[in-house]
Amino acid sequence: MATLPIFEDLGISLLLGLLVGLQRQHVLAPLGGIRTFPLMTVFGTVCALLAGTFGGWIVGVGLAGVVATAVVGKMTNPDRGDVHTGLTTAVAMPLMYAVGAYLVNGDWSVAVAVAGTVAILLEMKLELHGIVARLGDADIKAIMQFVLISFIILPVLPNQTFGWYDVLNPREIWWMVVLVVGMSLGGYIVWKFFGQHAGTVLGGILGGTISSTATAVSFARRSRLEPSSVRAASTVIMISTTVSFIRVAVEVAVVGQEAMLKGVLPVSILISVGLLLCLVGWFGTRKETEVISQQTNPTELKSALVFGSLYAIVLFVVAATKIHFERTGLFVVAAISGLTDMDAITLSTSRMVSAGRLTAETGWKVIISAVMANLVFKAGLVAMLGHRKLFVRVAVLFGILIIVGGVLIAVFP
């Protein structure tokens, strides 16, 4: 029985090596295939087992041997004609050796996840190359700017509160920037591949992920130039608005967590009503294709700084209002903030609830108030920029949502 765990490790190592080896054999990789990779993965496990008796240097020597084997294999198998050996297989060899070694003292689920990822990356060569080929300089810049925002700026910011009311924490403020920019970047990348000639549903989803307000402005302007697009435009605006509700729910779940559980039901009802209105509109425009206007880079440092400043201001004002004006003042702040940006008031309110500075009941009512104010703001934009018929349709749809939001605030405790 004492040897059973050893055989389990060896068995898992063999299977993981076979998985990667199968993929390499299928594409006729010159450096390794269905036999080489299992041998290297099991070799890593055996070295890790021996290290328990003779010392960890054995694992290092084994790794050096695998690297040397990969280098020699690469040198003796130069590119010939249409056969390109590349470096991918040579890099995968020591990685799978390390996976085999890790199995002895690590979590087998981690080893399985790593080996599965390796196999997928090796198999999706053409797809990944195609994705990179379709990304332009501006898109790569957007991704790198997100790396700057999230992996370079965030870790170096101080994790402590400053100023009056003890609520302004630079790292927490910037974490909210990372959260909002990350969601917008995801929508932006999807738009690059699918959104330029998206269907009505996808157009609305992408619009809500990136910016429902910008989507409303774009389609309002188009409706004035193309009156025939009014029905489709109202549907896209409604879908993007509902997606923005879902975005609010995600932000609350991430920041407020269990403290905001009391708001789950009323927010879910608001989202459900929005989805129902979207479904009604979609039945009339499901065969139409909408062209989504050019989207701006959501990771620009200037935009991130502006949102971070806005979030900090709203957080400070909410804290001050809570102390000096109690609930009435909070709803005024929510209405003013929600006119232009729901993210800032949603995140700041959720943060206050999570920190115990606001009750969950007050928190979710403040957020729904901001949502209603944002609906009024977008309806106003449509009235100024769009066709009159579009405004009528949007006013009816948004009016239903505002009524539902008001009832939720009045009825739910």
117-168 per-position pLDDT tens digit: 999 998 888 888 877 877 778 788 888 888 888 888 888 998 888 877 777 8
Q: Rounded CA gap, 152 and 146, in Å?
A: 9
Checking if the pLDDT of 290 tops 60, the result is no
Mean pLDDT, residues 24-33 taken together: 82
Instruction: Please state at what angle helix 360-385 crosses helix 264-285, rounded to 10 degrees.
Output: 30
Checking if the pLDDT of 104 tops 60, the result is yes
Residue 81 pLDDT grade (very low, low, confident, very high; cuts 50, 70, 90): very low
Instruction: Write down the pLDDT at residue 1.
Output: 45
Q: Rounded CA gap, 210 and 180, in Å?
A: 9
Checking if the pLDDT of 9 tops 60, the result is yes
Residue 99 pLDDT grade (very low, low, confident, very high; cuts 50, 70, 90): very high
**In 10 A of CB 389, how many CB atoms?**
14
Question: Which pLDDT tens digit goes with each residue over 180-230?
Answer: 788 777 777 766 776 555 556 666 777 777 778 878 887 888 788 788 778
- Token pair of 353 as six digits: 């609830």
Residue 293 pLDDT grade (very low, low, confident, very high; cuts 50, 70, 90): low
Over the chain, what is the mean pLDDT?
Answer: 82
Mean pLDDT, residues 336-354 taken together: 81
Residue spans of alpha helices (H) in 226-285: 230-255, 264-285
Instruction: Report the share of the chain in percent with pLDDT over 70.
Output: 87
Cα atoms found within 13 Å of the Cα of residue 258, Cβ hemisphere only:
0
Checking if the pLDDT of 277 tops 50, the result is yes
- Token pair of 91 as six digits: 């890099």
Sign of CA dihedral 215, 218, 224, 229: negative
Residue type, 128: L
Q: Rounded CA gap, 192 and 80, in Å?
A: 36
Are residues 364 and 261 in contact, defined by beta-carbon separation less than 8 angstroms? no
* Whole-prediction pTM: 0.65
Instruction: Write down the pLDDT at residue 327.
Output: 64
Are residues 338 and 402 in contact, defined by beta-carbon separation less than 8 angstroms? no
Checking if the pLDDT of 329 tops 80, the result is no
Nearest by Cα to 294 from 192, 406, 183: 192
Mean pLDDT, residues 359-382 taken together: 88
- Token pair of 95 as six digits: 């990685």
Instruction: Report the share of the chain in percent with pLDDT over 90.
Output: 21
Residues linked to residue 80 through DSSP beta bridges, in sequence order: 83
Report the run of H or E that residue 82 belongs to, with start and end. Answer: none
Listed as own residue / partner, the contacts of 211-217 with beta carbons closer than 8 Å and 24 or more positions apart are 211/184, 212/237, 212/240, 212/241, 212/243, 212/244, 212/378, 213/340, 213/374, 213/377, 213/378, 213/381, 214/295, 215/240, 215/292, 216/240, 216/241, 216/378, 216/381, 216/382, 216/394, 217/381, 217/385
Which position has the token pair 């939720």?
408
- Token pair of 101 as six digits: 């070694």
Q: What is the rounded radius of gyration, in angstroms, for the C-alpha atoms of the chain?
A: 27
Checking if the pLDDT of 78 tops 70, the result is no
Checking if the pLDDT of 288 tops 80, the result is no
Are residues 231 and 393 in contact, defined by beta-carbon separation less than 8 angstroms? yes
Q: Rounded CA gap, 346 and 51, in Å?
A: 53
Instruction: Write down the pLDDT at residue 86.
Output: 62
Instruction: Write down the pLDDT at residue 43.
Output: 95
Mean pLDDT, residues 284-305 taken together: 64
> Which of the given ranges, 56-60, 209-213, 304-308, has the highest pLDDT on average?
56-60
Residue 375 pLDDT grade (very low, low, confident, very high; cuts 50, 70, 90): very high
Tell which wins on pLDDT, 331 or 96: 96
Tell which wins on pLDDT, 341 or 132: 132
Q: Rounded CA gap, 382 and 368, in Å?
A: 21
Residues linked to residue 168 through DSSP beta bridges, in sequence order: 162
How does DSSP classify residue 262? G
How far, CA to CA in Å, does 364 sit from each of 170, 242, 348? 24, 17, 12
Instruction: Write down the pLDDT at residue 353.
Output: 84
**In 10 A of CB 268, how many CB atoms?**
12
Mean pLDDT, residues 263-268 taken together: 82
Residue 82 pLDDT grade (very low, low, confident, very high; cuts 50, 70, 90): very low
Residues 45-78 as b/e (b if ≥16 CB within 10 A, e otherwise) read bbbbbebeeeeeebbeebbeebeebbeebbeeee
